[in-house]
Chains A and B, each alone.
Chain A
Amino acid sequence: MKPFEYIAPRSLEETTALLARAGTDATILAGGTDLLVEMRRPNKMRKRVVVDISRVSELGGMITSDRSVVIRPLMTHARLQHSELLRIAAPLLASASAAIGSPQIRNRGTIGGNIMNAATCADTVPPLIALGATVTLRSAAGTREMPLSSLFLRPYQTIAAPDELLTEIRFPGLTADARSAFIKLGRRNALSISRLSVAAILRIGRDSRIAEARIVPGAAFPTWQRVTAAEALLLGERPSARLFAAAGACVSKEMILQTGRRWSTEYKEPVIAVLVRRALEQCAAPALPEDGK
C-alpha cells in the first residue's frame, strides 16, 4: 500500500472538523473490507489522508426510539445478523446481513460502509429501501436527513459531499402482521457478490387479502427502487402462486424497460421473475425458513 496520513478521531465533532479541513483529500475508514482492497489496487487515485472512524463511539450501536429502529453506521454485519431486535423488527435485514461475504468479512464490514460504498450489489440496501429507511448525513456545517432511495446517484456514487458523514439509518420497525424475505443469488453461498437479489415485505389483512406489498430488487436496476407496478398487482388480491408469478414477470419487464437489453439480460430476465415469486412465497408462508440463501 502507498503511504498516507492516518488519523483516528475519538468524537463525532472531531471527525466532522477533520473532514471539513481535509475535503477531497480524505477517505473514511470503518471496517476496511472494501477500502483496503481499493487502496491496494494499482493505478487507483489515492487519498492523502485516511480518517479512521472506527473509534468514534457515537457512531456505533443500535436503538429503538418510538416505533423506529435507529442503526448507527459502525454496526457490523455480524451484529445485525444476530440481533434479536432485527429478528422481530426487520428480519429481512438480518437475513441480508447474514448473506454478506464470510464470517471474517461480517465481523469487520459495517452497514454504513455497505451503504456509502454504493455498489449495486450492496446487500443491505434493498431491505432498507423496502423498510422505508431514511439516512442522516452530518458535516461541520449541519445535518440533513433524506430517504435512503434518494442518497444514490449512480453505482458507486452518492450525493454525500466529501465532508459529509453518514451518522444514522432509521426506519419504522415492521408490525407484527408483516412478513418479509430477502433472497440472494450468487455464484456460491459464501463470499459471493450478489448477481441478483430481492427484498420483499407483505402484509396480509384479516380478510386474507394483501393489504401492503413492497418489492425492491438488488443488482437489477442502476439504483434501488420499489417496483410499484408489481406491488400494485398484488394489492387487494389473495396470495396465490399465479399472482406471485405475475408480480415476478412484472418486475422483470420493468427491469428491462429501465436498463435495456444487455449481455446479461437473457439470464436475468427469467431469473429475477423467479426470485421475486420465491420471495413473495416466503412472505406468504412464514413457516418456511428465512436464511437469505
Chain B
Amino acid sequence: MTKIPITTTVNGTVHTLEIAPHQTLLELLREGLGLTGTKCGCEIGECGACTVLLDGEPVNSCLVLAPQIDGRNVSTVEGLMRANATDPLQDAFMDHDAVHCGFCTPGMLMSARALLAEDAHPDEASIRTAISGNLCRCTGYVQIIEAIKHVKP
C-alpha cells in the first residue's frame, strides 16, 4: 500500500512522516514516535486510556486514523511536562493519591487538561462529565475528582 506523507505537530514538535494509511493515531504515537505514555486499552473507544488532545479536544486515539492528523496539533501526556517540571494537574494527582495502578492516568490527565483549559474552576458535575469517557478499573474516581478540583493555578 502507498504510504501517506503527513506533517503534524505533536507536543509542539513538527514531524514530517510517511505513514501506512491503516495505522491509528495510537499506533503512530506509541510505535512510530515512541510516546508510550498514551496507553492502549480496549481499542474500541470505550476505556479512554488512549485519550489525547487533537487541536485541544480530547479524542480516543484508537479511533483516529493516522492520516487524519495531517496539519493538526496533537498533545499527549508527555507534553504536560514543561522544562522537566510536572504540570500542576499532575502534582494534584500525586497530592490526592489519584494514581492507583496508573493505567488510566494519562487519559484521565488529558481529559482533565481539556476541561481546565475551558474552565479553571469546574464544579463536580462538569468534572464527572469530562472524565465520563475514562474508565478507572481500580475505581479510584473519588481521588481523581478531588485532584481535579484542587489543581493549583
Cβ-defined contact, A29 with B65, below 8 A: yes
Cα distance A138–B25 in the bound complex, in angstroms: 31
In angstroms, Cα B57 to Cα A233, docked, is 46
> Counting CB contacts under 8 A, is B43 at the interface?
yes
Cβ contact within 8 Å between A104 and B59: yes
Q: Which B residue's beta carbon lies closest to that of A6? A: B21
Binary CB contact string for chain B from 33 to 73 against chain A (1 if under 8 A, 0 otherwise): 00000000001111010010010011110111101101000
Which chain A residues (176-230) contact chain B, with CB distance < 8 Å? Answer: 189-191
Do A6 and B130 form a contact, CB below 8 Å, given A36-B24, A104-B60?
no
What per-residue 1/0 map shows which CB atoms of B17-38 lie under 8 Å from chain A? 0001111100000000000000
The answer to whether B111 touches A108 (Cβ under 8 A) is no
From known contacts A3-B1, A4-B22, A5-B2, infer whether A103 and B65 are also in contact, taking CB-CB under 8 Å.
no
Contacts of A8 in B (CB 8 A): 67-68, 70
Query: Does A52 belong to the interface (CB within 8 Å)?
Result: yes
Given A36-B24, A190-B133: A104 and B45 interface contact (C-beta under 8 Å): yes
Query: For chains A and B in complex, what number of residue pairs have CB atoms within 8 angstroms?
Result: 91
Answer yes or no: B129 CB below 8 A from chain A CBs: yes
Whether the Cβ atoms of A37 and B63 lie closer than 8 Å is yes
Residues of B with C-beta under 8 A to A33: 45, 60, 63
B132 within 8 A of partner (CB): yes
Q: Are B68 and A3 in contact (CB under 8 A)?
A: no
CB distance from B144 to the nearest CB of A (A): 15
User: CA separation between A77 and B48, bound complex, in Å?
Assistant: 18
Which residues of A sit under 8 angstroms from B20, Cβ to Cβ? 3
The docked-state distance in angstroms from the alpha carbon of A40 to that of B45 is: 12
Residue A4 contacts which of B21, B44, B45, B68 (CB distance < 8 angstroms)? B21
Interchain CB contact under 8 A, A101 and B21: no
How far, in whole Å, are A3 and B23 apart by their CA atoms in the complex? 9
A240 at the interface (CB under 8 A from B): no
* Cβ-defined contact, B45 with A103, below 8 A: no
Question: Using a Cβ–Cβ cut-off of 8 Å, how many residues does chain B contribute to the interface with A?
Answer: 33
Q: Is the CB of A40 within 8 A of B43?
A: yes
Chain A 1-14 near chain B by CB (<8 Å), digits 1 or 0: 11111101000000
Complex interface: chain B residues within 8 A of A36 (CB): 24, 45, 62-65
Assess whether B142 is interfacial by the CB under 8 Å rule: no
B4: Cβ under 8 A from any A Cβ: yes
Within 8 A of B (CB), among A23-39: 29, 31-33, 36-37
How many angstroms between the C-alpha atoms of A6 and B23 in the bound complex? 11
The interface residues of chain A lying within 8 Å CB-to-CB of B60 are: 33, 104-105, 108
Flag A138-170 by CB within 8 Å of B: 1 or 0 each.
Answer: 000000000000000000000000000000000
Contacts A36-B64, A103-B133 aside, 18 further interface pairs with beta carbons under 8 A come to A1-B22, A1-B23, A2-B22, A3-B20, A6-B65, A8-B67, A36-B62, A37-B44, A40-B43, A102-B133, A102-B134, A103-B58, A105-B45, A105-B60, A107-B58, A190-B129, A190-B132, A191-B133
A-B complex: 4 closest residue pairs judged by Cβ atoms: A102-B133, A6-B21, A190-B132, A3-B1
